[in-house]
Every structure is written in C-alpha cells, then in structure tokens.
Amino acid sequence: MATKKYELTKEYFFHGEFWHQLDDNKGRFSARIEYSPYHGLILDYCISDSESPRTCEILYGVLNTGERCTLIGKFDFTQGNIHFDKGIIHTGRHGFPIMLFNDFYAPDSKIEYCDLSLHGLQEFIHPHGFFTQLKHLEHPIFIAKGNHWTLQLVNHVSFSVIGDDLLNIINCQNKAALENIIHQLKKTKELYPDAFFSIRKELVFYFRIKSSNDLGIEDHISKCWDISGLFSILLNKPTLPEEINIKFKGNGSKTPCLLTTGFEQRTIDLALREIKHQLLPINRKHINLG
C-alpha cells in the first residue's frame, strides 16, 4: 500500500473528533488541527462533554480525510477559555509536538525503522530534473553502524500505470530504430500476455534509521533531528525534515507524521531556500556513499 505523503514544509488543515483512551472513545470532542512549518501543530478545540479529558499526553482521532490519527503532547485544556452557559465549555488553541497518521498508536508502540527525507537531500544526491539518469536500487546505497543503531541511505520509487499505452510515449528520430523497438515490445507482449507495464513516476531518497533498542516514538524523532543537524553541516545551512515515515512492527505500511519544529521564522526561511546541486560546496560526488 502506498504511503500518503505529508511534507513538513507545507501547510495542512484538518477537522476531526478526538478522545484520550485507546480502548474507549467516550468524551469525544471536535477540533480543528492546523499545521505550518512556521507555527507547527495547533489543536483548535471546543469541549463540552464532562467526560472529555482535562489533561492528557495522547489523543486519538478520526479526521475529515477519513484517516485515523494519534496526537502526542502534554495537553492541558484547563488553560484555555472557559464558558458558563447551561454547562461548562472549554475552548482554546493548544500546540503539540507530534501527529501520526493512519492508525492509533500507544506511546510504547514498537518501531521497526524510520525513513527520513530532508529538505535539500534530493538535490544533494542528484540535480533536479535529471533523476531519470539514476536507477532504482532494492538494496541500501550506504550503511553506517553505531552503538545500537544503523543508518542507511535508501531510495523509494513510485510508478504510474501505463499498460499497452507504452508505445504511445516512445519516439526516436531514427525511424528504423523506433520501428524495431515497437516490434520488440509487441513481440514481448505476445510472449507474455499477462505482463503489465508501468513507468517510473518518482524516485525519492531517504535516510533509514534502525535501532536495536526498543526506542519509543519521541526517541526516534529525536534521532531524526540529530541526522538533520549533521546534514546541515554538509549543506552549510539549516536543514528541516521534509518527510518522516515510521514503520511500526506488525504494521504493513509506513506511517507519515508531522512535527512542530520550534525554530524561528528566519531559520525556517534559510532552511527552505532552494539549492542547486552544482553550486553546493559538498554534494554526493565528494562523498563515498557506496
């Protein structure tokens, strides 16, 4: 199953219902979630149910996108506005650090690995617009090991269905060569009638972080920030995570997440500044990545 893409450098808005017990959704309340790289994650809430939590460290919810989600943070809804009108209503805006998509997760959920894409990583690897020059590799491009952890550089590829229309997008000035390719493709299709062709749509590089210790969600996020800080030295500018996808043990797909960075606007603006592969002081060509 393809992982839905959530980029930490873009803005998102969600509406949903939330509660604080994994096995009991009583005390549900409605809220709006706002995300931007500048302001992070904000829960705009309205609580009228007396069974809703006043303080908690995790919330579970369903969004208007149809997705389940898990919110992690120290929530204190007594610090907002309180309205007295035939009952007590709590409203306000509450910041929080981590939002996980796709499912409900306990704080001690076991993690298999975490895939991290940094803003500027793709350009560091190869110039934008020339990724067709690169092959997709099933094995890691680079592996580094430390005490109780492993860091890999991997790539992920997505495809578009093309089927028999593959012949429609091929061209060559040498007509004889073009006719030969078309003939060979038709012959291949006759030999393998069940073969279904697709064309590569996207190739993305990630740092894959694995820990031999059973680190929790927040500890893995902390490791992502460590890698981001090291990569900023190579780029000679601040670096922000662009995507973080967590693979939980026993889960067939990866879980995207959004984070509150806590950086100043000037730092974020510098981090989001576009870069060019050829103009970088150091790029992949200068480093042995295997």
Is the model's pTM score more than 0.75? yes
User: Distance of alpha carbon 268 from its chain centroid, rounded?
Assistant: 18
Q: Where a domain ends, among 56, 78, 101? A: 101
4 in a structural domain? no
Assess whether 135 and 213 both reside in one domain.
yes
Q: How many domains does the chain have?
A: 3
Quote the pLDDT of residue 163.
Answer: 72
Assess whether 152 and 266 both reside in one domain.
yes
- For 53, the 3-state DSSP assignment is coil
Assess whether 186 and 206 both reside in one domain.
no
Q: Over 90: is that where the pLDDT of 94 sits?
A: yes
Assess whether 176 and 97 both reside in one domain.
no
- Closest to 182 (Cα-Cα) out of 170, 196, 192, 200: 170
110 sits in the region (left: phi over 0; alpha: psi -120 to 50; else beta) called beta
- Closest to 242 (Cα-Cα) out of 275, 198, 194: 275
3 in a structural domain? no
pLDDT in tens, 140-178: 888 888 888 888 888 887 777 777 777 777 888 888 998
Task: Label each residue of 189-249 as H, E or C.
Answer: HHHCCCCCCEEEEEEEEEEEEEECCCCCHHHHHHHHHHHHHHHHHHHCCCCCEEEEEEEEC
Task: Label each residue of 126-166 as H, E or C.
Answer: CCCCCHHHCCCCCCCCEEEEECCEEEEEEEEEEEEECHHHH
147 in a structural domain? yes
* Average pLDDT of the residues in 179-200: 84
DSSP state of 80: S
Q: Containing domain of residue 150, as a range?
A: 111-158+201-286
